[in-house]
Chain A
């Protein structure tokens, strides 16, 4: 019993971090209909920047999120202005190709800058745990999960309590309607994209403490994140959180009670199952694309 509870606790902590990683991806899809497959590469970029800050200045990796988040926001803004804005009217598949090209370019640039070696950020707490009775909670995961909650909370407030957030939600729910009431769709799109990419700032910083980082590891992360987003419902922020927690727990339970071989396959099985049974995901809304378009 203790073992099972411990397993679920580990899963929830992992899921909390996954939620943050998936939030930006689902936000950008919800508003802009863009599947940002470069999200994984941007995540690894932020993790490597964190590594650099930690190595050079001894900056705590999770605190580094305060620097990487605005930086990745700027990166997101620049990517939107330079590339995405130019093909806004092209079919979705074109934006996927564009973002994939960008991911590969970023991977190459990271390989040149940081060499193709594994990087690890190891602050004093990386290997320590909090002990609660018979249970242990790895400190890095707890801090990471808390930071993820802070960022997700901030994102929620931004979307629900500010005019910029209302504009983003309006644009996401009804692009034409929002334009009619005076929302500047172009600047909202740039803002959304930048906010979506900014989440990789905090996400990457947290990731750098939890895992070893390698330029090519972005493929693994993007496929995992897509699984979460598909399960939660493409475009739904609460869906991404629920999807992340479910998959975090499913991953650890499978690894413990079934087989470690099946643990990583869970993400892909979920994509398949959801698309077959409930294509809109747990919390996504089924769009009448024929009418919307």
Chain B
């Protein structure tokens, strides 16, 4: 009986394969001379990074739709092949190998997070293929001095808060923080931001009263909040990925401690989820740096936001915008070089500046970007860009941060 079922299943599978094979032939017959340009990427669509991974996929797809509507790239339609690496380092390597050797894609786009981009970019480098990645600014990415790697944000992780440090140093002496606490998640993206900030602020005379590194699986922040309260710092700067950023603020509310200045690396940029997590009234005055803002006036940004809202019915996530920008970088290089020659594309990107929805981007010899992040702040339940001035959405800065509203 069971064996009979297997036979039926096998026969059905065979039929499906034959039918699918026929379908493939038909498609190729219709495509004629101008085949689409196939761009391959692997994204963490499931697992730990599924949230940003899904957003990045949306960003790539919006870019593809916009490019195809305007006649494609080099007159050819653009087609995306996106695989799911399940947030796993081994899978992402297998995926990029498959894209290059089996699917023989024309171009590559990067994956999400330094964790995954580290091994994936090595596959691309070995195969001499340009690898523009939307999120992965850990220093280790660029210490390898890869030639084909480009990080499509404004700055590497250690320099993402430079704009905040500069702002503090620009304040009159009596408004600057005297003491600071630095809890950070042990994350290749968050920790370098805080480490660099701590060093820079110590040099500027801000005394460190507390610093700690906690692992990603930390859920209970009551103890850290309790310790921070005991030290009573003026500035609290946290290397917060997301959950931990919300968790620490919730615990600060519970212990009843509100710092005069609060900076968190990326948690506050997840606008709706952040406001939902800590209560909208409590977001007032929280600083963060960000690669992108829906309000920024850079070319194409408005169209991107509109398109995204039409298709997904919400404001794009920063991760979606970063992915869009990464694709823009690749597009600019291909358009300028006029052909798909990986070596020439890499040379062009090393020598030129590219306008993206994140602003103008340029790279050094290792693929590390050389611009500045945006300094943002929550004001009246909205995220506003405070610096740099040419794209700021407000003139005012909330300082000091008001007390928590619901404690």
Contact = CB atoms under 8 A, between A and B. Distances in A.
B119 interface: no
A111 B218 contact: no
Interface residues of B, number: 42
Interface in A87-138: 108, 111, 115-120, 122, 124, 126-129, 136, 138
A107 B48 CA distance: 11
A127 B224 contact: no
Most buried by A among B223, B250, B406: B223
Contacts of B226: 3, 6-7, 10, 256
A260 B215 contact: yes
Contacts of B246: 118, 120, 212
Nearest to B272: A117
A260 B279 contact: no
A140 B254 CA distance: 9
B404 interface: yes
Contact of A255 (B48, B186, B220, B404): B220
A236 interface: no
Contact of B212 (A214, A220, A259, A265): A259
Contacts of A117: 51, 273
A172 interface: no
Given A10-B223, A118-B273, A136-B255, A261 B406 contact: no
Contact-residue size bin, chain A (C-beta under 8 Å from the other chain) = 35 or more
A136 B392 CA distance: 41
B276 A7 contact: no
A131 to B, nearest CB: 8
A264 B217 contact: yes
A216 interface: yes
Contacts of B54: 115-116
Contacts of B220: 14, 251-252, 255, 263
B242 interface: yes
A211 interface: yes
B212 A111 contact: no
B230 A3 contact: yes
Contacts of A217: 243
The 10 A-B pairs with the shortest beta carbon distances in the complex, nearest first, are A127-B253, A260-B214, A120-B277, A255-B223, A138-B254, A116-B50, A116-B51, A264-B217, A10-B222, A252-B223
23 contacts: A108-B46, A117-B273, A118-B243, A118-B270, A122-B277, A122-B278, A127-B278, A128-B406, A129-B407, A140-B254, A211-B247, A212-B277, A214-B243, A220-B219, A252-B220, A255-B224, A259-B213, A260-B183, A260-B212, A260-B214, A260-B223, A261-B213, A264-B214
